[in-house]
A = this chain, B = another copy of it.
């Protein structure tokens, strides 16, 4: 009996030691959890130049769901970054006003956890969510709204005008303040998952197979790009080792240095199709291609399955969102145009 007990204790100790080792290994590889502590999280997602407040987030939420910020009054941020799904549109190529498709055949990335990315857009041209949000509103193949018209929509509606005056007391209402409100809302769209529980100290948050998956993920080198809280979100060379299998879909070549923003892997089971050009629907195939293209490795079926098993632990808990009631247009609100 004493012997058995000793063995159990020894075995637990080894397991704990091994597991702590894995957490340490993950942290060393650059992986970071979404903080459990609310104050710590708030600090991480906040923007000192545009502090998160309850009222700003509420205004931003309305604007996020506001179709009148598009020329047609049919498209909102939520059309392509749908909070009911993976925070994206689950179609290969972003499609907007007049059914126009993104000219470079670019895929809409998820808005969930986008706050953790170091840059925004596939070519990283935008530094933060506040700036990013002003882009699709004006882009011809997206919402196709002239910025002056967007401002006119907002200023023509007393409830919005009042909210802006309250939230941004010393600022004129411009496309920038619209972006700031939307950005503040988007900063709250984080989805902690079992992976975070694990890194935050809950040993039982992941199964044995999932821990194996995490090990494989680190071992084969995925963390060289997919690191940080976002497991992505930094500019990286692409492709590295071999040409990308579907490079002929669209003409996107990255930024001026050929760098491409690494997408977050959080909720990756929900954000197919994959890659900047949405060419791949299967997560297993995506992992396989990444191995070849970026790491120059032919991953085994076992390794691929193991990584996918780990990736599923990144499915997070989404914030509960009450669908907003948007204020009425007035006679001064610009009329929509389908042209």
Taking Cβ atoms with an 8 Å cutoff, the residues of A that contact B are: 65-68, 72-74, 79, 82-85, 89-91, 93, 95, 98-99, 101, 269-270, 272, 281-282, 318, 320-326, 328-329, 331, 335-336, 338
Contact = CB atoms under 8 A, between A and B. Distances in A.
A95 B74 contact: yes
Given A95-B74, A322-B321, A331-B282, A338 B101 contact: yes
Copy number of this protein in the oligomer?
Answer: 2
Closest 10 CB pairs of A and B: A99-B99, A321-B323, A323-B323, A84-B326, A91-B336, A98-B99, A65-B84, A85-B326, A73-B91, A84-B324
A338 B90 contact: no
Contact of A329 (B67, B90, B338): B90
Nearest to A83: B323
Nearest to A79: B74
13 contacts: A66-B84, A67-B89, A72-B95, A73-B91, A74-B79, A84-B324, A84-B325, A93-B338, A95-B338, A98-B99, A281-B335, A282-B331, A322-B322
A91 B79 contact: no
